[in-house]
Structure 1
């Protein structure tokens, strides 16, 4: 097997943000903007590559865990333990549903499937207790627990053929694959996909490309990597930051890989030699992504949810 390693000088700065914990980048093919959150800063942000405009809005609560696009052009936001809906960039979010109530948890990573359902998980705020769970949220606001015993939910992604769901528990240092029934919204046949429990490396956010490769960011690992569907790594890209968090493909041709990063847990000395920490990075031409699925609210149909291959 030939291993590809992309030189660090190929990594560019897309947005010179100062995120404490940047996360969940999503490319919106309607607005042609990149959207992402700063979890600890409670910021929902967008970047327009055509104009260079960077828009930032602040929100209530302790954490803004993740986001999702919707079929009607609004956004879902994971605020603490509830999902809210933001109808426009100038609007305050309205509550859509409460996912959990009680544990010392918060919502973290989530992703929408090709039928418009949101798969989103919780995590332990103390980063060591298995208090979290994976949930499925439907367009009428119904919440169903899929499984529990999770420390930190991350890396939720769907294979291009919609037959596999990937799921990472960052603080268990493992990624699993599940068989996924798109019609029924059911997963089974849980199996280990990547195991870093011996080294303690922390796989974080993930996305897939058109060929079924799973791209994963390694928090505290200074790199991103591409797994083939058989679980073998074929590409590693070193980054000029310690804490990459998540990634997505964007741009009109979906050939730009955007990577969010974090300043969190870095001391002043490290930050002084790592000015890119907290910024959004970009790598061009390493692969091609897929359009993001959109959450379907109250029967609104997602016209882009077929996941046909993007233009080449």
Structure 2
């Protein structure tokens, strides 16, 4: 089946953020805001579509790798190799745990499952060594290493029926599926879902829609694609930025696909051709999203 091609003019700028490395967008159904980070500038950001307000909070770390919503309304922020709770705008973040130590790594992509556990991975700061790993972090900060041999963790997502975990290693150019046991927090039966090792294309951040479609941003690929649960691509959306990084559904009805992007690795000539590089993009009405799970919520 030929994928549907969505015209670029339907892709609009939601926030002119100018991020070096925008990442991990999440829609909060309580605040009715979009939240995301700029990893390299160490910025935690929010956007309120109702008012147009764009708020930015800087952090003192080397990398602000990713984030998660929590049951108590705080945010869980991945700073270098530790996880920290940010309760209020004026409060300093408190450390939950140190996920990893002793390696030239940092925390990267993560997602909370339906039992309130955070699944988050590390990545090699040099982008070529298999130093990283995937971890499961429980509400009390207890950390379990699930597997290693990872270069760059990305694309963590769960199927709507909570039976499948998706995981991408961007620098291995592959996405895998695992059987997922929601009650035990166990994964098994690893198998290849999408393989770009021959072309070197880079699948990056991902999210799931209500029908079980996996939406993936392709860094250095200028597009977002939707996979059916059987692995076939049925939608390709070109975006006006070479480096889309991650996606999420948001808005009051969860029907807007937000796309973070990056200016990183683009030269001056490329940036001149891509005025929307580093901005948060939006595509309305493309699919029905699902609300994000919250860390610490055991329901």
Same fold (TM over 0.5): yes
Does 2:125 correspond to 1:125? Answer: yes
Q: What residue number does 1:167 align with?
A: 167
Provide the rounded CA distance (Å) in 2 between the counterparts of 1:89 and 1:34. Answer: 16
Q: What residue number does 1:285 align with?
A: 285
In angstroms, what is the RMSD of aligned CA positions? Answer: 0.7
Q: What residue number does 2:218 align with?
A: 218
Q: What residue number does 2:103 align with?
A: 103
Q: Which runs of 5+ in 2 are unaligned?
A: none
Q: What residue number does 1:146 align with?
A: 146
Q: What residue number does 1:240 align with?
A: 240
| 1:189 CA displacement | 0.3
Q: What residue number does 1:309 align with?
A: none
Provide the rounded CA distance (Å) in 2 between the counterparts of 1:258 and 1:164. Answer: 23
The alignment partner of 1:103 has SS state of coil
The alignment partner of 1:289 has SS state of coil
| 1:272 CA displacement | 1.0
The alignment partner of 2:283 has SS state of strand
Does 2:237 correspond to 1:207? Answer: no
Q: What residue number does 1:268 align with?
A: 268
Provide the rounded CA distance (Å) in 1 between the counterparts of 2:152 and 2:240. Answer: 25
Deviations, residues 174-230 of structure 1 (Å, cap 9, x unaligned)? 000000000000000000000000000000000000000000000000000000000
Does 2:184 correspond to 1:184? Answer: yes
| 1:90 CA displacement | 2.4
Deviations, residues 234-275 of structure 1 (Å, cap 9, x unaligned)? 000001100000000000100000000000000011111111
Provide the rounded CA distance (Å) in 2 between the counterparts of 1:206 and 1:292. Answer: 13
Does 2:61 correspond to 1:61? Answer: yes
| 1:106 CA displacement | 0.2
| 1:3 CA displacement | 1.8
Provide the rounded CA distance (Å) in 2 between the counterparts of 1:97 and 1:169. Answer: 24
Deviations, residues 86-128 of structure 1 (Å, cap 9, x unaligned)? 0012222111100011100000000000000000000000000
| 1:39 CA displacement | 0.3
Q: What residue number does 1:308 align with?
A: none
Deviations, residues 115-158 of structure 1 (Å, cap 9, x unaligned)? 00000000000000000000000011101100000000000000
Provide the rounded CA distance (Å) in 1 between the counterparts of 2:171 and 2:68. Answer: 23
Deviations, residues 61-98 of structure 1 (Å, cap 9, x unaligned)? 10000000000100000000000000012222111100
Provide the rounded CA distance (Å) in 2 between the counterparts of 1:91 and 1:282. Answer: 31
Deviations, residues 17-65 of structure 1 (Å, cap 9, x unaligned)? 0100000000000000000000000000000000000000000110000
Q: Which runs of 5+ in 1 are unaligned?
A: 306-312
Provide the rounded CA distance (Å) in 2 between the counterparts of 1:103 and 1:89. Answer: 31
| 1:2 CA displacement | 4.1
Provide the rounded CA distance (Å) in 2 between the counterparts of 1:235 and 1:90. Answer: 42
Provide the rounded CA distance (Å) in 2 between the counterparts of 1:174 and 1:12. Answer: 29
Q: What residue number does 1:81 align with?
A: 81
The alignment partner of 1:272 has SS state of helix
Provide the rounded CA distance (Å) in 2 between the counterparts of 1:92 and 1:54. Answer: 21
